Amino acid sequence: MAAYFFDTSALAKRYVTEIGTPWVQSVADPAAQNRLYVVRITLVELVSAITRRKKNGDLTSAIADPALASLRSKFDSDYDVIEVTSVLVSRAEALAEKHALRGYDAVQLAAAVQVYLAYVAVGQATNQPLPILISADIDLNMAAQAEGLTVDDPNTH
């Protein structure tokens, strides 16, 4: 069992067929027994992305509507959700300035760092593997690597 933090660009691949979808689905498959982390804003970002693609004609209702229903119905049960707190926002602010990240990307990175630090603290005693950030965003991936996180881009699978 491994731990993964998904940003929106990667999690979208679980619900809409894109490059990397089979790999993301295998990592997220409950049979794999992986821990999947997301930050609460991922729900908003993903609903927005799917809805906009539907409005633009890139997705049909037959694809978008079930994807949205699945996402909404299982969000809190399929994922360990990191809440947006004042501490998280402060960390995101610092990361946005340090790495010149877009706002929500900085929040994504701050949440991934929070999960990473929790694993470091626990992992020293239990020898747990550290979580991996899954993201298809090049700028976010570079910033995460600079912060010491392990990153995997689903577009390479």
Provide the CATH number for the domain around residue 135. 3.40.50.1010
pLDDT at 125 exceeding the cut of 70: no
pLDDT at 100 exceeding the cut of 80: yes
Distance, CA of 82 to CA of 139 (rounded, Å)? 21
pLDDT at 68 exceeding the cut of 90: yes
Return the ∠ at Cα 46 (arms to 44 and 52), rounded to 5°.
100
Q: How confident is the model at residue 129 (pLDDT cuts 50, 70, 90)?
A: confident
Rg (CA), the chain: 15
Q: Give the three-state DSSP class for 81.
A: strand
The CA-atom distances, in angstroms, between 35 and each of 6, 52, 95, 99, 111 are 10, 29, 25, 27, 15
Distance, CA of 80 to CA of 119 (rounded, Å)? 14
- Range 6-10 average pLDDT: 98
Q: In the predicted model, what is the mean pLDDT of the chain? A: 96
**Number of domains making up the chain:** 1
Q: How confident is the model at residue 124 (pLDDT cuts 50, 70, 90)?
A: low
- Range 43-64 average pLDDT: 97
pLDDT at 61 exceeding the cut of 90: yes
Q: At what angle do helices 8-15 and 61-78 cross, to 10 degrees?
A: 120
Residue-level pLDDT at 140: 98
Residue 54: give the domain boundaries: 3-156
Who contacts 31 (Cβ-Cβ below 8 Å, separation ≥6)?
none
Q: Give the three-state DSSP class for 126.
A: helix
pTM of structure? 0.95
pLDDT at 123 exceeding the cut of 90: no
pLDDT at 127 exceeding the cut of 90: no
- Range 101-111 average pLDDT: 98
